[in-house]
Structure 1
Amino acid sequence: MPSPPERASSLSPASFDLEEAPTFEDIRSEPVSRRQTNIDLARVESLRLTHRSTVGSSAGPAPREEWLPFGDGKDYPPLLPDPEKYVVGFIGVDDPMHPQNWSMSKKVLLSVILAYITFTASFASAIFSSAIGAIAEKFSISIEVATLGVTLYVLGFSAGPTIWAPASELIGRRWPITIGMIGYSIFTIGTATAKDTQTLFITRFFAGLFAASPFAIVPAAFADMYNNSQRGIAIAMFAMAVFVGPFASPFTGGFITMSYLGWRWTMYISAIMGFFGVVLLIFFYKETYAPVVLMEKAAMLRRQTHNWGIHAKQDEVELDLNDLITNNFSRPIRMLLTEPIVFLITIYMSFIYGILYALLGAYPVVFQRTHRMNLGVGGLPFIGLILGEFAGGVYSLIGAKYYARKLHNNNDIPIPEWRLPPAIVGGIAFTIGLFWYGWTGWTRSIHWMAPTASGVFTGFGIYVIFLQCFNYLIDSYLQFAASVFAANTILRSAVGAGFPLFSRQLFTNLGVQWAGTLLGCLALIMIPIPLAFIKFGPRLRRRSRFAPSPVVFEEKSEAKNAKMRQREGKLRASMFTYLNGFSASARFFWISLTIPPRR
């Protein structure tokens, strides 16, 4: 009996040797006629497409003493002489089974399904806010306590990626996202039927935990299907779903709550939307994760050939607790604390995300309290934010064509910093929108259309900043994108969960004009963040062990290098300045909440 072969080494990202990855100089030194071919071959044959990232390790035979009896008096058959010959793969760059080679109509259909379930999950996060008054009255609790229904749901977004991201890399995208939507729908029904506050808040948290599956998986599914030139448009669709949902739910939920249906039907309708998404996923969605696609191919070949040794690399994977902890807890935190790009971009995106949920409490202060609109009509000014989102989408699509042209001229080698200039435009628009809202919404003597119009600038800025920063992180850390997603989502959702708890008090105690000024000043401070990474990003990525993206570097003299080091020192000092500013702002927030409201 041949002895069992040694266990195969781990194929997790942690085992990938960054030093062996080709540099830009290696690629640039090749003949121009060969660059496109080599890049395309690398795209299909790279570890990312066949087994680049996983939460486990490749399984080898167990020690013989652990083997189960074969049965029927038979001895163990011999092992496969060369297991690698039985591993299936893609046939080349044009393999029709590879998701990136599917027809555009098929990819668009799957993208629409993914965008819909993302919209549903984000829609449910904010529709609860329109029913807070009715819920507080029903359960005899304060408005602040009732707001926990929004906070706990968004907090579920923070915890969810640690479950759904590794699951999608182990068994594929389809079933984790389907199970997530089933769980979300069931717990949302639990919220609708809640008889006490304990049930209400517990079901909201678990609904958010399951609803986090689209946020963790959809960007990865888009990366499965689209190449560098197309992925920006797909992520634009994802970002639209993420932000339009919370802005569409206040007036929808407001009219439902005011009607004979009552606040419980805001939850029932959200659950119905979730179950409809489950139907779409089960009957129309196809698996996009390439390693699992190869598993399906291997299963088909086994049935056709009756050669039961045929398998895919993903079939060899066993769940490894150590890799699971490293990839989904340790590495995201380490990247957040040691990578300036990840840290500052995530801080910026977290602030933007927090403002999104802060507006759920700020808009009622202006339109329902100051302008005396009812619950449904008072939610209609959110349409200004939605219009701004669509304007940002058009702007991003125009920019995507310009980006695709630059990418083609650079032999399809992406430079992450190309994503950032629109974020500066978005940052300026976002800041203008906050100042505009504060100084036009504080008094009834100014027409309600003025603060409503400010939402166009605010929505435009939120969308463009989020989209471009998201694409920048993906391009910078493509190999470790799952860890970057986890780090970004955990901090961003935690911040987003906290803002609704104090936004209403902030705008009440400080006054709309000064609360808007405070947030506008914070937004103004953050505008230089993308500009700093346009200047220093390539050098920071070159020194990073997590960002092996190709970067163009010109030869510099010693004087230029010394000057660059001096600028890097200034960048580090700026980081500490930002942190000190956030600390001071937090103290100011706390003081503002303790000041009695003005009468």
Structure 2
Amino acid sequence: MQSFRQYHKFRKAVEAQYGRNIDKASQLKRGSRPVPDSNASYASEISQEKDVEKGESDDSIDRRDLPAGVCPGDVHRPANQDEPAMKEEDEVMRHNQEEEPAHGPGPQPEQVERRDYDQREAVETPRREEVEEPVMEPHRETELRPTHSRRSGLSRLASARTAGSALGTVLTGVNIRKRTTNEGGAGDVFIVGFQGANDPLDPHNWSYALRIWVTMQVAAIGFVVGVASSIDSSAIPHAAVTFGVSEVVASLATGLYLIGFGVGALFAGPFSETLGRNAIYIATLTIYMIFIMAAGLAPNIGAWLAFRFLAGFFGSTPLTCAGGSLSDIWSPWERIYFFPVFANAAFLGPIIGPVIGGYIVTSPLLNNWRWTEWITLIISGAVLVSVVLTQPETFPPILLKWKAAHMRAITGDDRYRAEVEVRRESFFHRLGRALYRPFLLTATEPIIVLVALYLTVIYIVLFTFLDGYTYIFEEIHHTSEGVTGLCFLGIAIGLFGASALVPFIAKLAKKKMAEVHAAGKTRLPPEFRLWFAMLAGPSIPVSLFWMAWTSDSNISIWSPLAASVLFGYGILCIFISCYQYVIDSYEIYAASALASITLIRYVAAGGMTVVGIPFYQNMGVHYTLTILACLSIPLVPVPFVFYKYGHRIRARSRYAPKHE
């Protein structure tokens, strides 16, 4: 709903811009000096010649007869002019050129290159003494007048520039260039961009209220799919009885959902970068809800497990798209404050899920484990309605694609294109390349491998807690199922504690930014994002050792609960650092990098939920948590190593942009 309103808003904005500039376009078409645009300071500069949209052309005109920058489609031939007359006129023109005195020392017109974006091409510019007033606005296809000048002496060529073509020279945010050979086509293309640094259509310039609302919506999506990932963990014993299977088999419902998360992430990112964020959020949430409903109606264990996997597959969208959505609307500086909002919600979901599930399975009113699916469906439905009604599209390439479509419709000129429309590739070709890239990054990028390993250990510990809390609190401290679910709130409190670091990190960022500006640079290095992990990384093994050796009936239950708070603080800080470091390091390839990391950590976490029950049964709480703590110790130095040597690693990368 909001996307449709946004689409029509773009139409009105383009019409308003067209109305403001149509007079200038008409003046330029007549060869007059147009009135300078108030936004000219931000007008897109003409880039190096790349390839152009192929349009209608008069094949009877030889391209070699045309001056530089004039395409056959821009020329019409007078009806009463035949070939002999044209040849005779060619001879006259050559005679005039031979007699005309040279313009002076220096290169010939055909050797003169484009000097600056605010000058015409030298081969199309009359001599200085013939110009009464310089033309300020750039355009390659200058008007050809019947004159005997050496540079504009083709009197048989009349101006055929359309109103849309002339408009392209005065509209801010329109960049005129040629296509490159690998883009296909020939001729000029007008690349449509935002009008200026303060263009209200640019998502970075939306009001704070709207951008905060978009952030909350994305966080809500992450929260509900996170709840669905763990809410069934409390229902495993009851579902096992219903289907007549062991608890280990029933635990596959959680494990397969997480594996579906990882596999689905490989598709969510590429599709969102082709169709837009909003379309993917709405479509995948709808299908995810269908399979959640199917899981609640499952007649046997096989159907339940299959539907849970498919629900996870389509529920994976926030894991890869949310980071992109936040980058669409917040600057790198602003993300210091607002990325933790999403991170809190994304981790709070798996923590709150067992709390909700614990009371559902023990409630005398509900008294059925299937209500874990129904409650998830209700919450997800509320979020979906909110997204459909109020969530705008944020992906700039899609927004510019809308704008270009409106400009083509208004001007009648098909050469107005968004950057994503210039390259003539099929949807499946682009999708195939995007699907291949995550595996390539995993195989070649040490940053991706180490970050994936770091998060994998964190997620293994987190999701084995879904099974382990039963042994830690029910069997040792004899809590009920409902109270055991409440014990997860200790991790939730720790998650919010990570937000206390935000003011400190922001203060560090200001100081570092001053140093960066003094060095003549414009942005913080990606390694700055590692401060969260460096400050909180050691808390993971400390909290696990603490919980391992204080989980005893002779020790107060508050000791393992306090350890869980420290654990929650550590995992969120690491998540914030890892995600933002990858986003800043790989920029346009961030979705592919995050997809790879998501696949690795969720497949591993899904497998560990299956072995979690035997692990705690055979090893006991003390040794199970001790082993997990030992696994996390070697990862503590990782953010420190990246902080010191990350710039060298990125310098060798084919995909990480060079910021130094």
TM-score by length of 1: 0.77
Q: 1:186 to 1:360 in 2, by over 3 A?
A: same
Q: 1:126 to 1:86 in 2, by over 3 A?
A: same
Instruction: Name the counterpart of 1:232.
Output: 336
Alpha-carbon displacement from aligned partner over 1:501-544 (angstroms, at most 9, x marks no partner)? 11222222112111111111111121111111122211111122
Aligned residues: 488
SS in 2 for 1:183: helix
CA shift, 1:287, in A, is 0.8
Give the alignment partner of residue 486 of structure 1, picking from 589, 592, 595: 595
Q: 1:401 to 1:499 in 2, by over 3 A?
A: farther
CA shift, 1:235, in A, is 2.2
Instruction: Name the counterpart of 1:313.
Output: 419
Contact 1:229 1:404 in 2 (8 A): no
Contact 2:53 2:189 in 1 (8 A): no
Distance 1:452 1:381 in 2: 7
CA shift, 1:397, in A, is 4.6
Distance 1:162 1:46 in 2: 36
Contact 1:187 1:203 in 2 (8 A): yes
Distance 2:378 2:571 in 1: 29
Contact 1:361 1:503 in 2 (8 A): yes
Q: Which moved more, 1:287-296 or 1:405-414?
A: 405-414
Instruction: Name the counterpart of 1:287.
Output: 393
Give the alignment partner of residue 513 of structure 1, picking from 622, 629, 637: 622
CA shift, 1:434, in A, is 0.3
Contact 1:184 1:274 in 2 (8 A): no
CA shift, 1:306, in A, is 5.7
Give the alignment partner of residue 327 of structure 1, picking from 423, 427, 434: 434
CA shift, 1:408, in A, is 4.9
Q: Which moved more, 1:387-396 or 1:233-242?
A: 233-242
Instruction: Name the counterpart of 1:191.
Output: 295
Distance 1:282 1:299 in 2: 23
Instruction: Name the counterpart of 2:237.
Output: 133
Q: 1:302 to 1:279 in 2, by over 3 A?
A: farther
CA shift, 1:409, in A, is 4.3
Q: Any unmatched runs of 5+ in structure 1?
A: 1-39, 48-56, 63-76, 552-599
Contact 1:477 1:549 in 2 (8 A): no
Q: Which moved more, 1:482-491 or 1:542-551?
A: 542-551
Q: Which moved more, 1:171-180 or 1:403-412?
A: 403-412
Contact 1:396 1:464 in 2 (8 A): no
Alpha-carbon displacement from aligned partner over 1:72-99 (angstroms, at most 9, x marks no partner)? xxxxx96998864544221122211111
Counterparts of residues 20-31 of structure 1 (less than 5 Å): none
Give the alignment partner of residue 194 of structure 2, picking from 73, 90, 98: 90
Distance 2:284 2:321 in 1: 10
Instruction: Name the counterpart of 1:25.
Output: none
**Taking every aligned residue pair, what percent have the same amino acid on both sides?**
33
SS in 2 for 1:546: coil
Give the alignment partner of residue 456 of structure 1, picking from 542, 565, 576: 565
Pair 1:278 & 2:387 matched: no
Distance 2:46 2:414 in 1: 26
Q: 1:323 to 1:309 in 2, by over 3 A?
A: closer
Alpha-carbon displacement from aligned partner over 1:122-163 (angstroms, at most 9, x marks no partner)? 111000101111100111110000001001111111111222
Instruction: Name the counterpart of 1:266.
Output: 372
Contact 1:423 1:468 in 2 (8 A): yes
> Match for 1:176: what amino acid?
I
Q: Which moved more, 1:455-464 or 1:190-199?
A: 190-199
> Match for 1:148: what amino acid?
L
Q: 1:224 to 1:266 in 2, by over 3 A?
A: same
CA shift, 1:305, in A, is 4.9
Distance 2:53 2:360 in 1: 54
> Match for 1:349: what amino acid?
L
Instruction: Name the counterpart of 1:393.
Output: 499
Distance 1:46 1:544 in 2: 30
Distance 1:434 1:214 in 2: 28
CA shift, 1:492, in A, is 1.2
Instruction: Name the counterpart of 1:522.
Output: 631
> Match for 1:355: what amino acid?
V
Distance 2:54 2:647 in 1: 40
Contact 1:426 1:461 in 2 (8 A): yes
TM-score by length of 2: 0.70
Contact 1:251 1:375 in 2 (8 A): no
Give the alignment partner of residue 482 of structure 2, picking from 359, 376, 390: 376
Instruction: Name the counterpart of 1:116.
Output: 220
CA shift, 1:173, in A, is 0.6
Contact 1:239 1:466 in 2 (8 A): yes
Distance 1:60 1:252 in 2: 59
CA shift, 1:233, in A, is 2.6
Contact 1:414 1:475 in 2 (8 A): no
Q: 1:84 to 1:178 in 2, by over 3 A?
A: farther
Counterparts of residues 55-454 of structure 1 (less than 5 Å): 84=188, 86-259=190-363, 260-261=365-366, 262-302=368-408, 304-305=410-411, 310-316=416-422, 318-329=425-436, 331-411=437-517, 412-441=522-551, 443-454=552-563
Contact 1:386 1:459 in 2 (8 A): yes
Q: Any unmatched runs of 5+ in structure 2?
A: 1-40, 57-71, 75-161, 166-177, 179-186
Distance 2:194 2:432 in 1: 31
SS in 1 for 2:499: helix
Distance 1:468 1:197 in 2: 39
Alpha-carbon displacement from aligned partner over 1:329-365 (angstroms, at most 9, x marks no partner)? 2x22222222222111110111111211111011111
Contact 2:539 2:566 in 1 (8 A): yes
CA shift, 1:303, in A, is 5.2
> What root-mean-square deviation, in Å, do the aligned CA atoms of Structure 1 and Structure 2 show?
2.8
SS in 1 for 2:219: helix
Instruction: Name the counterpart of 1:68.
Output: none
> Match for 1:335: what amino acid?
L
Distance 1:391 1:344 in 2: 26
Pair 1:497 & 2:606 matched: yes
SS in 2 for 1:214: helix
CA shift, 1:418, in A, is 1.6
SS in 1 for 2:392: coil
Q: 1:420 to 1:41 in 2, by over 3 A?
A: farther
Distance 1:251 1:157 in 2: 21
CA shift, 1:406, in A, is 2.1
Alpha-carbon displacement from aligned partner over 1:400-421 (angstroms, at most 9, x marks no partner)? 3432442354234121222223
CA shift, 1:438, in A, is 0.5
CA shift, 1:58, in A, is 11
Contact 1:125 1:208 in 2 (8 A): yes
Q: 1:448 to 1:41 in 2, by over 3 A?
A: farther
Q: 1:346 to 1:178 in 2, by over 3 A?
A: same
Q: Which moved more, 1:351-360 or 1:396-405?
A: 396-405
Distance 1:528 1:87 in 2: 46
Distance 1:194 1:408 in 2: 59
Q: 1:418 to 1:46 in 2, by over 3 A?
A: farther
Alpha-carbon displacement from aligned partner over 1:42-75 (angstroms, at most 9, x marks no partner)? 9x9999xxxxxxxxx999789xxxxxxxxxxxxx
SS in 2 for 1:141: coil
Distance 1:374 1:386 in 2: 20
Which of the two has greater helix per residue? 1
Contact 1:368 1:378 in 2 (8 A): yes
Distance 1:238 1:373 in 2: 32
Instruction: Name the counterpart of 1:545.
Output: 654
Distance 2:514 2:200 in 1: 23
Q: 1:520 to 1:45 in 2, by over 3 A?
A: farther
Distance 1:104 1:511 in 2: 50
CA shift, 1:315, in A, is 4.0
> Match for 1:415: what amino acid?
P
Contact 1:188 1:271 in 2 (8 A): yes
